[in-house]
Amino acid sequence: MLRVEGLRVNYGRVPAVQGISLEVNEGEIVGLVGPNGAGKTTTLATLIGLIQPAGGSITFEGKPLRGQPPERIARMGIGLVPEGRQIFSTLSVGENLQLGATARRDRQAVRADTAAVLARFPALGRYYQSPAGRLSGGEQQQLAIARALLGRPRLLLLDEPSLGLAPLVIDLVFDTLANLRTEGTTILLVEQNAARTVELADRSYVLRTGQVVLAGSREEMLARTDFESTYLGL
Amino acid sequence: MTILIQNAIDAISLGSLYALFALGVALVFGIMGLINFAHGELIMAGGYALIYLGHPAWPILVLAMLAIVVALAIAIERVAFRPVRGANPITLLVTSFALSYLLQNLAQLIFGSIPRVTNLSTSLSESFTIGSVSVPKLDVVTVGVTILLLVALTLFLNRTRLGVQMRAAAENFWMARALGVRANTVIATAFALSGVLAGTAAILLVAQTAVVTPTMGSSPVLVAFIATILGGMGSLRGAVLGGFVLGIITVALQAYLPLELRYYRDAFAYGAVIAMLLLRPQGLIVAKSVVTRI
Amino acid sequence: MTARPVAQLGRRILIFWWPVIALAAIVVAASSLSSTDGPFLQDTAVTDLVYLLFVLGLYVFAGNSGVFSFGHIAFAAIGAYAAGIFAIPVATKAQLFSSMPSALVHLHTSSLVATLIGGGVAAFAGLLTSIPLMRLNGLAASLATFALLIIVHVVAQNLNQVTNGQSAMTGVPTTTTKTEMIVWCLLGIAVAYLFQQSTWGLRLRASREDAVAARASGISVYFERRAAWILSTFYMGIGGALYGQFLGTFSPDAFYLDITFLIIAMLVIGGTTSLAGAVIGSVFVSVASELLRRLELGPHIGPLHIPGRPGVQAVGLALIMLLTLLLRPGGIAGGREIHWPLNRLLPRPVVSTAPEVEVGRPARTDAAAE
């Protein structure tokens, strides 16, 4: 579904991503893990069109993504749950959700989806009219995911959803992702929490200083004993 | 007592006008991080449009003028600001400065620098008399029109899809785009709305001064500049508040400052601007995601 | 054998100073062009050189710190008025300026001293204003400088005892010559170059490239910026003083929006981030303005006479500036200096950084998350 080849991204003159290739197939959860500064977030930001790469190719369902503006990429069916949630704190929860469905025309279906999403995350229903800035960190994360889901994305990108969340909430998030996979959503999950990610994902890539240093299926990754050394570069 | 009421009416009326100026600038700033110095030239264009459109029935005159100003606003965005979209705020500022200069001198070239006189509506220059207070009709119209526009704008921003998209874009432009909000649509809408505000301001200004010159937009844009900073640059409500505060302060200073200091009124206003920037810059920081987060 | 170290030293000096030498040559060449056309163009040359000095002043601050100032002309006004007070003969002042306090009336010095006093007073005002203003960043700083311009303008218009307000300061001996201006400009170029190669200049430029990294490595931007600001206001004061002693009569409007726009245009068109940009921009705009002015008067192309219209010059200049911003935001010089072209044996001359972010587009788009 998503194919990235030889991606190179620079911040000014500093290379942040130096030739990454990865693949996400339909119905999978693919994990992208690695320490801080490995280039994970940069990769996601490039996928969604927020950064222009210096080299390499990105195709989604056969169509090239490079050079497309974010709004067009979103309308192609890619949803983003960004690092730090990035909910619109001055807008209400309802308005945040409404924005998730910006690209959609099918009002009926949107209403149905909204009801479904509120059922999945009851906290959002409670605060529907309140400014989103009032929600707790965990609730904001739920809102961010819900908002992305309302776009009916075929590929969902998540950037460090567990960051700053209490363990129980992290459980909720990861359970949600597993459920989404069962329902047929394809997911690319960027995380620092390597252990849980590798366990959840069907396949994972390990990034370090802008390059893929390790890749494999769940079984392969869990079997590796040199994980720490590769991951941390020890 | 009468004088106080008279001054109060002047203050509210002037405040309304200033709020209109400020709002036009704040709308664009909120979304683009751009202080559009050329907003004054939109007002000026409205003025000249009123002169050249002749004497149809006033609703048609108003609508035609607004259409012209809105078209100009959208054209400005397309031609001058889209190529520099995403550049740092100073580039944007300098670009709008250059554009303003260009349009002013272009107007001078085309229309000549001699002020044109209009007789927009003689009925507006009359006044009501309530007790011992004389209330100029124009003041009433100014306040009324401003309130109307504010209500309409609020409804638009809160109740329509596009309005919600604009508020989202103003808070976090990139995230809005990542959800599918079209940058071009939102920005063009902001400019179009600022065009409506500019056009309205033009009518009220021209009705008041009866004169149109190529440089008539300079003072309003400076006022808008002060008002938006005073009110906090990121917020529309702040701009409106800033406009009213500035109007009240202006009338108050004019009425109550000792004669020698009165001429320094503007100096005080701009001093307040610097003070605001130093002491209460929240508006500027809150406004744009272009500011790096550290 | 001993000739070689001397030759090498000479070569080093040449290479170090080459950017200045090249620019000096450009300035002298450009200003000598005007002497072929009689006294009228001589006057234009002096004015153009004054503008060059102003642009140098603006560059010393804005180019190094990355903070754009709209208010620098305010300091030129201060310099002009201060120098004027000292340059005008006592008798003239007593006669023309009825409201001026006698302490000011009795001040008088030679034109050179008056000029230096103008620069000094302006720099002092720069010192005072730098305290609050340099705490601000980016957009806030620029807007504050704009406010400053207006404040000084209003004060100049109304402080009749000192400036004679709207009635204009007159009677200033018109002592500024083209040669004098050239000398000041060359000095200005050299000092600007030295500043940007100095530790302070380098620190400022580092902070300009990446404010966060600079702070992290312990560079306090505040004091460096203040230094640049004060130096730049000194330039403006000198330039203003010389300008006043060229015009003979001036009012606050001579130091307001029109001239502000002009020098900003010069710096932007030439390129904000290099000294070469400042000089080239100034020369380019001066030449272009002259051509446009002739267009305005109605040029003769062979037998044709195209009727001119006033305002063409201003429109043309604004168009050039806009086109530069839209198409070549780095300006003509693109942030580079003029370097010695043959540079085999010695290490590269010191810092000339291409603009990352300046008056121009960013090198990358900011992501929603970093």
C73: pLDDT strictly greater than 50:
yes
Average pLDDT over residues C128-145: 85
The reply to whether residue C318 touches residue B87, judged by beta carbons under 8 angstroms, is no
ipTM metric = 0.88
Supply the pLDDT for residue B160. 92
Question: For residue B120, is it within any domain?
Answer: no
Q: Which residues of chain B make contact with C68, given a CB cutoff of 8 A?
A: 90, 93-94
Question: For residue B63, is it within any domain?
Answer: yes
C105: pLDDT strictly greater than 60:
yes
Supply the pLDDT for residue B123. 62
Average pLDDT over residues C172-181: 84
**Helix (H/G/I), strand (E/B), else coil: A206:** strand
Task: Express each pLDDT in B35-86 by its tens digit.
Answer: 899 999 999 999 999 988 888 888 888 999 999 999 999 999 999 999 888 7
- Between strands A55-60 and A211-217, the pairing is unpaired
Pick among A47, A83, A158, A192 to test the C interface (most C CBs inside 10 A) = A83
**Token pair listed for C325:** 């911003």
C29: pLDDT strictly greater than 70:
yes
More confident residue, C179 or C3: C179
Task: Express each pLDDT in B224-264 by its tens digit.
Answer: 988 888 777 668 888 898 888 888 888 887 777 777 677 77
Question: For residue C348, is it within any domain?
Answer: no
The total number of structural domains in chain C stands at 1
Question: For residue C173, is it within any domain?
Answer: yes
Question: For residue B123, is it within any domain?
Answer: no
Supply the pLDDT for residue C212. 61
The total number of structural domains in chain B stands at 1
Give the whole-angstrom CA distance, residue C353 versus residue C335: 7
Q: How confident is the model at residue C168 (pLDDT cuts 50, 70, 90)?
A: confident
From A1, A27, A31, select the one nearest A201 (Cα to Cα). Answer: A31
Q: Which of A73, A86, A151 has its CB closest to that of B175?
A: A86
Burial A123-157 (b: 16+ CB within 10 A, else e): ebeebeeebbeebeebbbbbbbbbbbbbbbbbbbb
B90: pLDDT strictly greater than 80:
no
Chain A nearest-CA distance from B3, in A, is: 42
**Token pair listed for C7:** 């030759």
Give the whole-angstrom CA distance, residue B226 versus residue B243: 8
Four-CA torsion B60, B66, B69, B75, nearest 10 degrees: -100
**Helix (H/G/I), strand (E/B), else coil: B128:** strand
**Helix (H/G/I), strand (E/B), else coil: A213:** strand
Chains that touch B (3 or more CB pairs under 8 A): A, C
Q: If you ran DSSP here, which 8-state letter would residue A10 be given?
A: E
- Residue A206 dihedral angles phi and psi, to the nearest 5°: -110, 125
Q: Which residues contact C1 (CB under 8 A, 6 or more apart)?
A: none
Kindly identify which residue of chain B lies nearest to residue A49, measuring between CA atoms: B178
Tell me how far the alpha carbon of residue B171 is from its chain's centroid: 21
Amino acid at C3: A
The reply to whether residue B102 touches residue C142, judged by beta carbons under 8 angstroms, is no
Kindly identify which residue of chain B lies nearest to residue A74, measuring between CA atoms: B180
The reply to whether residue B93 touches residue C139, judged by beta carbons under 8 angstroms, is yes
The reply to whether residue B168 touches residue A70, judged by beta carbons under 8 angstroms, is no
Task: Express each pLDDT in B164-176 by its tens digit.
Answer: 999 999 889 989 9
Give the structural domain span for B196: 2-113+135-287
The reply to whether residue A51 touches residue C369, judged by beta carbons under 8 angstroms, is no
Least confident among A109-123, A192-206, C87-101: C87-101
Q: Which residues contact C327 (CB under 8 A, 6 or more apart)?
A: B83
**What is the overall mean pLDDT for chain C?**
80
More confident residue, B96 or C102: B96
List strand residue ranges (DSSP E) for B41-156, in order: 116-117, 127-130, 133-136
Q: Which of A10, A12, A50 has its CB closest to that of C367?
A: A50
The reply to whether residue B164 touches residue A151, judged by beta carbons under 8 angstroms, is no
The size of chain B, in residues, is 294
Percent of chain B past pLDDT 90, that is, above it, reads 41
More confident residue, C279 or A37: C279
Task: Express each pLDDT in A38-71 by its tens digit.
Answer: 788 888 888 888 888 888 889 998 888 888 899 9
Kindly identify which residue of chain B lies nearest to residue A153, measuring between CA atoms: B179
Residue located via tokens 């007789």:
B119
Average pLDDT over residues A164-189: 88
From A185, A215, A222, select the one nearest A200 (Cα to Cα). Answer: A222
Give the structural domain span for C73: 17-251
**Token pair listed for B78:** 């397309």
Q: If you ran DSSP here, which 8-state letter would residue A224 be given?
A: -
Q: How many CB atoms lie within 10 A of CB C50?
A: 25
**Token pair listed for C306:** 């195209």
Least confident among C83-87, C251-255, C299-303: C299-303
Helices (H) and strands (E) in chain C, counts: 15, 2
| CATH code for the domain in which residue B242 is found | 1.10.3470
From C1, C18, C51, C19, select the one nearest C335 (Cα to Cα). Answer: C19
Give the whole-angstrom CA distance, residue C168 versus residue A79: 65
- Between strands A211-217 and C300-301, the pairing is unpaired
Query: Cα–Cα–Cα angle for C250, C253, C255, nearest 5°?
Result: 80
Q: Which residues of chain A make contact with C335, given a CB cutoff of 8 A?
A: none
Question: For residue B122, is it within any domain?
Answer: no
Give the whole-angstrom CA distance, residue C359 versus residue C346: 32
Chain B nearest-CA distance from C359, in A, is: 5
Give the whole-angstrom CA distance, residue C125 versus residue C146: 16
Question: For residue C261, is it within any domain?
Answer: no
Four-CA torsion B173, B179, B185, B188, nearest 10 degrees: -10
Task: Express each pLDDT in B181-239 by its tens digit.
Answer: 999 999 999 999 999 999 999 999 998 888 899 989 988 998 898 888 877 766 888 88
Q: Which residues contact B165 (CB under 8 A, 6 or more apart)?
A: A99, A102, B176, B181, B185, B186
Supply the pLDDT for residue B252. 82
